[in-house]
Amino acid sequence: MMTTLRLALVLVGALTPGLASADLGVAFVHGTGRQTDAYHDYWTPAFVDSVAAGLADPSLVLVANCDFEQAMWHDDAAGCLAGQLLELIDGRGVDEIVVITHSNGGNVVRWILSNPSFDPRYPAIIDRIRWVDALAPSSLGTPLADAVMDGNTFERNVGWLLGYGNDAVAMQQTSSMALYNAQWLYGTAGRPELPVGFWSIVGTDVESSLFDADSQCGGYGRNVGLELTQNWLAECSDGFLECSSQAGAGRVWVYDHEFTGDAEPLSHAQSRRACFGLDGLLRHDLEEAGA
């Protein structure tokens, strides 16, 4: 049902003068972490290239590489992303872009969309974004970040943070995200809507079995870990985020089982990979946007 709604809106957009664009580009925005080669390390060429094939010019692609271990407002996070988006827009003559985010990347993009007065570059970027496809966005944070921060709240300065523990994880605690959503970010319930569509794809479960080939997609080891971390979360989750968080900002485009083959769920590791038709869904989305 949600898919039908989204497609209907896409058609309306295609019929609206000035919206259709011959020079449509796509930007992939990674989640938490400091990326230097997200094309290979975070998304994989199989996913990016398959999705970008939906563009009239498949070379108009940006795979962002920024430091999303920082808080979203940090110059190495949103500032870095703004610079790279403008390289695609101004540097390569792209008229409009569809932004595809994963996980915390959705929050960084929402920062730009919600705070146009923060940076003179932001309004120009907002004007060029056709819409955002948010894959498993951590819009309301995750109880997993709460648990990870338990007992560690103020040890961050003394070096326990050698891995994933960082400002971005602290930011994705449920209480922290509630503050940011209430004060700095648009798109959640009770707040003004975002200036462009923010369409989430929600992962609802994790399956990991050595005897199930589907569990290999996205990495068997990752899915094993995510199946355990579901114990920290509500029944509907992708192993890192509860469904309510993924659906907490903008509008739900589709739940995984509504489009995947055999109603396979998308774990948090799988929602950035060419698993179960996700790449095809996004490729078709770009085809519709450029039509």
Residue selected from 4, 46, 56, 164 as contacting another protein according to rule CB under 8 A: 164
Q: Are 243 and 236 in contact (CB under 8 A)?
A: yes
Q: Which of 86, 224 has the CB closer to another protein? A: 224
Applying CB under 8 A, among 83, 118, 216, 280 the residue interacting with another protein is 118
Among 120, 210, 211, 213, binds another protein (CB under 8 A): 120
SS (H, E, C) 79-122: HHHHHHHHHHHHHCCCCEEEEEEECCHHHHHHHHHHCCCCCCCH
Q: With respect to another protein, which residue has the nearer C-beta, 73 or 257?
A: 73
Q: Which residues from 176-215 bind another protein, rule CB under 8 A? A: 176, 178-179, 182-184, 186, 189-193, 195
Q: Does 13 participate in binding another protein (rule CB under 8 A)?
A: no
Q: Is residue 45 within the footprint of another protein (CB under 8 A)? A: no
CA distance 96 to 65: 20
Residue with token string 């489009």: 259
Q: Which of 5, 9, 87, 115 binds another protein (CB under 8 A)?
A: 115
Instruction: Tell which residue, 205, 224, 201, has the closest CA to residue 272.
Output: 201
Residues 6+ apart with CB under 8 A from 139: 106, 107, 110, 177, 181, 187, 188, 200, 245, 246, 247, 248, 249, 250
* Contact set for another protein, span 84-103 (CB under 8 A): none
Of 90 and 193, which has the nearer Cβ to another protein? 193
Task: Indicate the residue among 55 and 246 with the shorter CB distance to another protein.
Answer: 246
Q: Which stretch binds another protein (CB under 8 A): 91-99, 112-120, 255-263, 283-291?
A: 112-120
| Contact by Cβ (8 Å): 15, 8 | no
What single letter denotes the amino acid at residue 242? E
The token pair that represents 289 in the structure block: 């946007």
Number of residues that bind another protein (CB under 8 A): 67
User: 50 with 283: CB under 8 angstroms?
Assistant: yes
- Among 32, 65, 101, 260, the residue binding another protein under the rule CB under 8 A is 32
Nearest distance, CB of residue 269 and another protein, angstroms: 6
Grouping H, G, I as helix, E, B as strand and the rest as coil, residue 262 is helix
Interactions with another protein, residue window 225-264 (CB under 8 A) = 225-229, 231-234, 239-240
**Which residue's structure tokens are 């199946």?**
227
Residue 36 near another protein by CB under 8 A: no
CA distance 81 to 132: 14
> Is residue 130 part of the contact set for another protein (CB under 8 A)?
no
Q: Which residues contact 47 (CB under 8 A, 6 or more apart)?
A: 272, 273, 274, 278, 279
Report CA 45 to chain centroid distance, whole Å: 17
**What is the contact mask toward another protein in residues 140 to 159, using x (rule: CB under 8 A)?**
----xxxxxxxxxxxx-x--
| Residue 200 C-beta: closest distance to another protein, Å | 18
Largest CA-CA distance found in the chain, in angstroms, rounded:
56
Q: Which residues bind another protein (CB under 8 A)?
A: 32, 71, 73-75, 115-120, 122-123, 126, 144-155, 157, 160, 162-165, 169, 173-176, 178-179, 182-184, 186, 189-193, 195, 219, 221-229, 231-234, 239-240, 268-269
